Chains A and B, each alone.
Chain A
Amino acid sequence: MIVARRAIEDRRRSLAWWSAGIVGLVGFTVALYPSIKGNANFDRLAKDLPDVVRSAFAFDDAIPITSAPGYLQTRLFGALLPLLLVVFAIGAGARAIAGNEEAGTLELILMHPVSRSRVVVERYVAMVAMVVALGAVAMVAVFVLAPMFGALERVSTGGLVAACAGATLLATFHGSLAFALGAATGRRATAAGGAAAFAVFGYLVHSLGAVSSALEPLRAVSPWHWYLAHNMLAEGPALRAVLPAATVAVAMLILSGPRFARRDLG
């Protein structure tokens, strides 16, 4: 795993900054909870919002946003935290093969006795490990910081772990898409752009599917919907939030790996 370890070491500085950003986001979010907790005005306001907005920010009729599970879901796990993780994962995925290929550093590895498939597997492992590390940072931050502001009341531990796993897998899914597009084409812009476009598509379909019967069926292919269909903080872990994303992510690696092994380097 020399190649994977080096790929992670190459990003250590960047990882530190992203971790700091995520801890900051979590800290800022949970620190605001006491001002909203039990305030009925916010619940009425949330209920009056258009359905699209409610869906876009993961509001749930049965779970008041003034409760800890409702608050954390809408303010953190519903959009901002997964969005940050997705952005990082797409960057890491697009860089892993295509970015390094364009920079010319991939050839430096491949001029040594290392097979293309080994590079694909190790670089993929590195990408996933970095996304998982950031997801773990978010989870630890919530576990440590939220209780200081009472923001973990009625949040199940299993549910919180599952929500972090779900957000991490959502990011891994998009990182895998960027990785696969990059491995197949060797073009970083294609890899990052394609994955970002799919992330926006999935998010819009999930949000608009709440009000549009025409878009509703498309929610089935939206990783955001897989992840956000349930408030796992309140309802506990749901396999639906993790299994499809993990399966498709691995499938993309299996499809793109052989293509990378066969094609010409750019």
Chain B
Amino acid sequence: MNALEVRGLTKDFGSIRALDGLDLDVERGEVFGWLGPNGAGKTTTVRLLLDFIRPTAGTATILGCATSDPRVRGRIGYLPGDLHLDPSYTGDEVFRFYGALRGGVDLARLDELLERFSLDPTRRIGELSTGNRRKVGIVQAFVHRPDLLILDEPTSGLDPLLQHEFNDVVRASVADGATVFLSSHVLPEVEALATRVGILRRGRLVAVVTVESLRRQARQRLSFVLERPPGASPLASIPGVVDSRVADVVVDVVVEGSAAGVVATLAPFGIARVTSRDDDLEDVFLGYYETPEAGA
């Protein structure tokens, strides 16, 4: 039995088709990345899985149960993209009340997570920083050792140290047999954890690929500031380079796959600074995105 089985799942909002005939299987114990630019239908998928909204057509089952069965949500840990906790609650009140809805809290597990994220549960949500508020959501999503974790942009707003800690907790859950459905619009967040990735665009599943093949094919948009001008474009003949532009000492390049050749070519001119802008999925996955449109 798969952790997630989705068949022909479709959702219309008025005349807009937010999700179009999605078919998807996520195996148990796998970390599945759900990748797409903003507005692609990622959050719509998540909200359908949690039964916040109802499909126009199609079905989804979680761990063998229909999403419309509230009981299945006892086995799900959900971390929303933006978390609207009541600012007047303390952390303790959050864990006690929402824990009671699941039939009680495992206090040992709660303490372990609180310590891990060094979170003070006696403080009110309204007094917490964005990062600490996020931690409250993370603890609430993991505290009952769920079989399926649905994480929506989980590390946005977390500092790198905390991201690291978060990734460790996810890996530990997976080692215990949990399945993770990780929705994000940035590749690094998904890359760090996922084994397979579904790429979504305008409500349609474009491809399901492994993270390795994604790395091989993904485009990087790099910007170099050199110490000496390299002259007329030295990169045109380098394999993988899709586009390059030179303006005095600044070189902008789009490269598919490895950037090793580009760096080697530019090294003699003295690389003063490198910036990467691979957070724009429309650029990174241009390959995936262009193919289906070309046929349309």
List residues of chain A with CB under 8 Å of any chain B CB. Answer: 2-3, 6, 10, 103-105, 107-116, 262-265
Of the candidates A10, A103, A113, which one forms a contact with B71 in the assembled complex, judged by CB atoms under 8 Å apart? Answer: A113
18 more contacts with CB within 8 A, not counting A108-B84, A112-B73, A113-B73, are A2-B97, A2-B101, A3-B101, A104-B84, A105-B84, A107-B50, A108-B98, A110-B50, A110-B51, A110-B52, A112-B98, A113-B101, A114-B70, A114-B73, A114-B101, A263-B54, A264-B53, A265-B53
> Is the CB–CB distance between A10 and B88 below 8 Å?
yes
19 pairs, CB–CB < 8 Å, chain A vs chain B: A2-B97, A10-B86, A10-B88, A105-B84, A105-B85, A105-B86, A110-B51, A111-B73, A111-B78, A111-B80, A112-B73, A112-B102, A113-B70, A113-B101, A114-B101, A262-B54, A263-B54, A264-B52, A265-B52
> Is the CB–CB distance between B100 and A2 below 8 Å?
yes
Top 9 nearest A-B pairs by Cβ distance?
Answer: A104-B84, A113-B74, A112-B101, A264-B53, A115-B70, A265-B52, A111-B78, A113-B73, A2-B100
> Is the CB–CB distance between A264 and B73 below 8 Å?
no
Encoded as 1 (CB less than 8 Å from any A CB) or 0, chain B from 41 to 58 comes to 000000100111110000
A109 closest partner in B (C-beta): B101
List residues of chain B with CB under 8 Å of any chain A CB. Answer: 47, 50-54, 70-74, 76, 78, 80, 82, 84-86, 88, 97-98, 100-102
Contacting residues, chain B, for A108 (C-beta < 8 A): 84-85, 98
B50 closest partner in A (C-beta): A111
Residue of B73, B97, B100 with highest tally of chain A CB at under 10 A? B97
Contacting residues, chain A, for B72 (C-beta < 8 A): 113
Q: How far is the CB of B279 from chain A (nearest CB, A)?
A: 26
Contacting residues, chain A, for B80 (C-beta < 8 A): 107, 111
> Is the CB–CB distance between B84 and A107 below 8 Å?
yes
Q: How far is the CB of B68 from chain A (nearest CB, A)?
A: 10
Contacting residues, chain B, for A264 (C-beta < 8 A): 52-54
Q: How far is the CB of A73 from chain B (nearest CB, A)?
A: 39
How many angstroms from the CA of A116 to the CA of B88 in the assembled complex?
Answer: 24
Contacting residues, chain B, for A113 (C-beta < 8 A): 70-74, 101-102
Q: How far is the CB of B15 from chain A (nearest CB, A)?
A: 15
Contacting residues, chain A, for B73 (C-beta < 8 A): 110-114
How many angstroms from the CA of A263 to the CA of B80 in the assembled complex?
Answer: 20
How many angstroms from the CA of A14 to the CA of B82 in the assembled complex?
Answer: 27
Contacting residues, chain B, for A10 (C-beta < 8 A): 86, 88
How many angstroms from the CA of A109 to the CA of B84 in the assembled complex?
Answer: 11
Q: How far is the CB of B135 from chain A (nearest CB, A)?
A: 16
Q: How far is the CB of A49 from chain B (nearest CB, A)?
A: 47
A262 closest partner in B (C-beta): B54
Residue of B71, B84, B88 with highest tally of chain A CB at under 10 A? B84
How many angstroms from the CA of A3 to the CA of B53 in the assembled complex?
Answer: 21
Q: How far is the CB of B17 from chain A (nearest CB, A)?
A: 15
Q: How far is the CB of B149 from chain A (nearest CB, A)?
A: 12
Residue of A107, A110, A113 with highest tally of chain B CB at under 10 A? A113
How many angstroms from the CA of A138 to the CA of B105 in the assembled complex?
Answer: 39
> Is the CB–CB distance between B74 and A112 below 8 Å?
yes
> Is the CB–CB distance between B54 and A6 below 8 Å?
no
Q: How far is the CB of B124 from chain A (nearest CB, A)?
A: 13
Q: How far is the CB of A183 from chain B (nearest CB, A)?
A: 15
B52 closest partner in A (C-beta): A265
